[in-house]
Amino acid sequence: MRLEVKELWRYPVKSMRGESLTTANVTKGGIAFDRGWAVRDEGARTIRGAKFLGELMQCSARYLSEQPDDGYSVPHAIITFPNGMEINTDDERIHTQLSELVNRHVTLWPLQPASNEDHYRINTLETGDLTSEIRKMFAIKDDEPLDLSQFPPDLVRKLTTFVVPPGTYFDALPINVLTEASIRHLQTLVPGVQLDVRRFRPNVLISDDADTTGLLEETWLGKSVQIGEVDLSIVMRCPRCVMVTREQFELKSEPSIMRSLVRHMGQCISVYGQIEVGGALQVGQSVVVDDTQTRSIQID
């Protein structure tokens, strides 16, 4: 079976629609400048994404250059709002327009140093307690199991204190990989639903034999995956949240996706990885899975 990179994606602003790339530079921190910006709820003093502020998924963002601007850790981007208005991240109006969109006082922040822990800290819970907060984020009903066992314990410890691992705006790890086989598998569970790759927000979409079914990338857990000069360690399955059901552009709200994921797929689709060796990724590159090597992964 031939595997190759079909699509590459980068998301300049956390929880907004990203940009499709033909090439991407990958470092230990993931695709360059992925999730370089995020929205902070100033009332809660906490970073918020579309798990709570679903309107963010009505916006799209793309970078204006590939170089950080003076005084910033990431390049500036242009954000397109649902009404077609475009505002740059260095325009002071951006905070007001985003606040009006989500009906809360929010501000837009570039990535901050990991040492600025208060920026990443969970300062306020929407629901008042952590279990209810997790259930709300993951759209898990009271009669459905809450299973986060796929998260490495040291990552769980971080994510009970911080919204995201400090120094990043990633939900968990720096790169997400999805195969078309997994999308086809989920489609059998929700036959009437439009399953567009944009719902699942991977960095790398991998094409495979069109007859392949099942959760192909889950068979790579603990293994090495080479794409050109890039070497990935596949670390964990990706637990999904309410974002896969959100309305975005021409994709309507589809709660049945989450119900099927929870009931039939352990709430997961796609996998997270760490980058062992960086380099250039390109659409069309072959993907090679090393079945002879199993890696023990330590989360930083």
Per-residue pLDDT at 287 exceeds 70: yes
Residue 295 lies in a domain: no
| CA-closest candidate to residue 171, choices 287, 47, 63 | 47
Q: Could you give the percent of the chain with pLDDT greater than 70?
A: 96
| C-alpha dist (Å) from residue 67 to 11, 12, 18, 183, 251 | 16, 13, 18, 34, 32
| C-alpha dist (Å) from residue 209 to 188, 216, 272, 281 | 17, 11, 22, 21
Dist CA 122 CA 172 (whole Å): 15
pLDDT at 182: 96
Give residue for tokens 């086809």.
184
Residue 224 lies in a domain: yes
pLDDT at 300: 53
CATH number of the domain residue 276 falls in: 2.40.33.20
pLDDT at 293: 63
40 with 106: CB under 8 angstroms? yes
Residue 213 lies in a domain: yes
pLDDT at 123: 87
Per-residue pLDDT at 15 exceeds 60: yes
201 with 176: CB under 8 angstroms? yes
Section 17-36 average pLDDT: 97
Q: For 120-133, how does the pLDDT look when each residue is reduced to its tens digit (9 = 90+)? A: 999 888 777 777 87
Three-class SS state of 206: strand
Residue 300 lies in a domain: no
Least confident of 81-90, 156-165, 219-228, 230-239: 156-165
Query: Predicted confidence band at 1 (pLDDT cuts at 50, 70, 90)?
Result: confident
Q: At what angle do helices 255-264 and 180-189 cross, to 10 degrees?
A: 100
pTM of the predicted structure, to 2 decimals:
0.92
Q: Which residue has the higher pLDDT, 160 or 188?
A: 188
Residue 90 lies in a domain: yes
What's the first-to-final CA gap in the chain, in angstroms? 34
pLDDT at 154: 77
| CA-closest candidate to residue 242, choices 137, 91, 94 | 137
Section 221-244 average pLDDT: 94
Q: For 75-123, how does the pLDDT look when each residue is reduced to its tens digit (9 = 90+)? A: 999 999 999 999 999 999 999 999 999 999 999 999 999 999 999 999 8
Residue 297 lies in a domain: no
Q: Residue 141: which domain range?
A: 4-290
pLDDT at 32: 97
Per-residue pLDDT at 13 exceeds 60: yes
Residue 120 lies in a domain: yes
Dist CA 240 CA 267 (whole Å): 6
The number of distinct structural domains making up the chain is 1
Residue 106 lies in a domain: yes
